[in-house]
Amino acid sequence: MQEQNKPVNNPAVEEKKQRSLWQEAWRRFRKNRMAMIGLAFILLLVIISISTLVIDAATHNSIYNEFVVKQDLVNRLKGPSAKHIFGQDEFGRDMLLRMLWGARYSLFTGGIAIILALCAGGMLGAFSGYYGGKTDTIIMRVMDILLAIPSMLLATAIVAALGTSIWNVMIAIAIAYIPTFARTVRAAVLTVKDQDFIEAARSIGCGNGMIIFQYIIPNALAPIIVQATLGLAGAILSIAGLSFLGLGIQPPTPEWGAMLSNARVYIRDAWHVTVIPGLGIMLTILSLNLMGDGLRDAMDPKLKN
């Protein structure tokens, strides 16, 4: 009778107990087919971007100067062919190479802008949520003022004031996205700071800085990562918009928004010069949104079961 009453060990249950939070989130993320497609596309863009950097460094920009920037006015606006798969633009430059080289400007510029916004907004949100009181009131009211201004309008004003350059564009986008990350981090900190392990850290003499950076922020990463992924999509779209308006990355640098802006007058004569950069922007934004939705579902504790 005693042997019959022994609990039977289920390997699936035991394996589930041994998985960490991040392993469980990755397992659930992999089940989302659309999110995995988005991740694959973004990884492809990252590989292409790094490859173009390596090629430029190895060839001292000779390939960039010869094929990406050099003009061939005799063959301008030629459509897709076996030699030029995406056709040639209004100056006869190969559209495929310009799209490949332009990926790094769109992706890396947006990524650096989001990292800057996350660092600044994350710090403000963490201090606001942890200390509360007047600190919370002052920081959040400033963030509310910035949120009242449309992010694109704010970025446009900053770039117009600072001047058109890659770094100024990144600074403008970062400032525009600081309030979003500040509020996200503040909300995450408020849900964590009163838990028992934070009280235990205080009881052993940990300072406020150690508690914030070593205990609170690592345990509030899930919503921050999701917001960063969705914010990257918005940042890339904002950079393309600024370049389209002539305030972002300037020609002849092959940035997708600038390519779209320069080619829009030829849309009736050569469809490929506008459709291809537009598709590049659309697919990148769509892939990042699919990733963000998949991460949100994977990291939502309500969907754990």
CATH of residue 168's domain is: 1.10.3720.10
Q: Is residue 170 in a domain?
A: yes
Pairwise CA distance, residues 183 & 170, whole Å: 21
Q: Is residue 25 in a domain?
A: no
Q: Is residue 62 in a domain?
A: no
Overall domain count for the chain: 1
Pairwise CA distance, residues 93 & 87, whole Å: 8
Which pair of structure tokens corresponds to residue 59? 């060839």
Count of Cβ atoms closer than 10 Å to residue 18 Cβ: 8
15-56 pLDDT per residue, tens = 555 566 678 888 888 898 999 999 999 999 999 999 999 998
Q: Which helix (H) or strand (E) holds 13?
A: helix 11-18
Residues of the chain with confidence (pLDDT) below 50? 1-2, 305
| 3-state SS assignment for residue 81 | coil
**Residues near 172 by Cβ (< 8 Å), separated by ≥ 6?**
154, 155, 156, 158, 159, 162, 242
Q: Is residue 140 in a domain?
A: yes
Q: Is residue 108 in a domain?
A: yes
Q: Is residue 24 in a domain?
A: no
Q: What pLDDT is recorded for position 5?
A: 54
Pairwise CA distance, residues 13 & 231, whole Å: 36
Q: Is residue 256 in a domain?
A: yes
Pairwise CA distance, residues 58 & 206, whole Å: 49
Angle at the Cα of 184 (from 182 to 188), degrees rounded to 5?
115
Q: Is residue 20 in a domain?
A: no
Q: What pLDDT is recorded for position 18?
A: 54
Q: What pLDDT is recorded for position 130?
A: 87
60-86 pLDDT per residue, tens = 888 888 888 888 888 888 989 888 899
Count of helix runs (H) and strand runs (E) in the chain: 13, 0
Q: Note down the domain range covering 141.
A: 32-52+95-303
Quick check: 36 and 294 in contact, CB under 8 A?
yes
> Considering the entire predicted model, what is its pTM?
0.83
